Structure 1
Amino acid sequence: MFFWWLLWFFYVAAYIYVVILIISDLFRDEKLSGWLKAVWIIFLVFVPFLTALVYVIARGSGMAERAAAARGYTMPESDDYHPSASANPADDIAKAKELLDAGVISQGEFDALKSKALGNQYFGA
């Protein structure tokens, strides 16, 4: 008897965990409209097991991507130059010097970029 009660408790806890994951994924998804989110939640309330199963099958791969994006593990989509992303301080300083020579930045801004590039070398920031 105790074993069956324990097994039933495990299944209920696992199902609640899955429902919480689905609801958090629904609200994390920016592409899904509010009406569709409401429909998914209504089906989760009235046909819970089947809806959870269909959701995981239909939208499971997107769940992992949205969870990783929420944790901040995604790579930026642009390949633009970011001083903090450069591994070589000499390149940072050379690019800043080009901007100074072109008149895009002032001497003070060049000095700030130079000190930041040199700081990145020693602190890995």
Structure 2
Amino acid sequence: MSSNQFLAYDYPLLGAFWTMMWIFLWILWIILLFRVIGDIFRDDSLSGWAKTGWTFFVIILPFLGIFVYLIARGRDMGKREQQHARAQKESADAYIRETAGSAGTSDADELAKLSELKSRGEISEAEFQQAKQKVLTS
């Protein structure tokens, strides 16, 4: 029983190429499916029934549903993606500004520190006035 099987000869290079191509296309299809479903739920101009209808159509008949969605509503997908990214950035910037502002010291605290430095003689009257002016204008 010396039947040696050489699997490499049973699976040629072109077969391996086509297998990798199909795997790539399958992954691409899954990504496209999630992008379309995400766009359906991200769109504020669609009503709840329209979102339900598109989602049902895309899930029940995925190939036809995706192609029809891309033809009917694909032109504005990029615009909706940009609006969503812009809204997220503005939200993050507002949160950072709010957090950084609350962590900082108030003008009264800054003036108290400057007054203490002046009373200890570490800064002169001119430096105190200049720093005070800078705090009050900011």
TM-score, normalised via structure 1 length? 0.56
Measure, in 2, the Cα distance between the counterparts of 1:2 and 1:52: 28
Tell me, what secondary structure is at the counterpart of 1:21?
A: helix
User: What stretches of structure 1 of length at least 5 have no aligned partner?
Assistant: 74-113, 117-125
Q: Deviations over 1:49-80 (max 9, x none)?
A: 1111111111112111110001118xxxxxxx
**Residue type at the aligned position of 1:18:** L
Q: Which residue of 2 aligns with 1:60?
A: 74
> CA RMSD, aligned part only?
2.0
Query: Relative contact order (C-alpha < 8 Å, sep 6+): which is higher?
Result: 1
Q: Moved runs in structure 1, 4+ residues, more than 3 A?
A: none
Higher helix share: 2
Q: How does 1:1-125 map to 2 (within 5 A)?
A: 1-72=15-86, 115-116=137-138
**Residue type at the aligned position of 2:25:** Y
**Residue type at the aligned position of 1:52:** I
Aligned residues with identical type, % of pairs: 37
* Equivalences, count: 77
Question: 1:115 offset after TM fit, Å?
Answer: 3.3
Measure, in 2, the Cα distance between the counterparts of 1:20 and 1:115: 51
Provide closer, same or farther for how the CA distance between residues 115 and 41 of structure 1 changes in structure 2, counting only shifts above 3 A: same
User: What stretches of structure 2 of length at least 5 have no aligned partner?
Assistant: 1-14, 88-135
Measure, in 2, the Cα distance between the counterparts of 1:60 and 1:115: 50
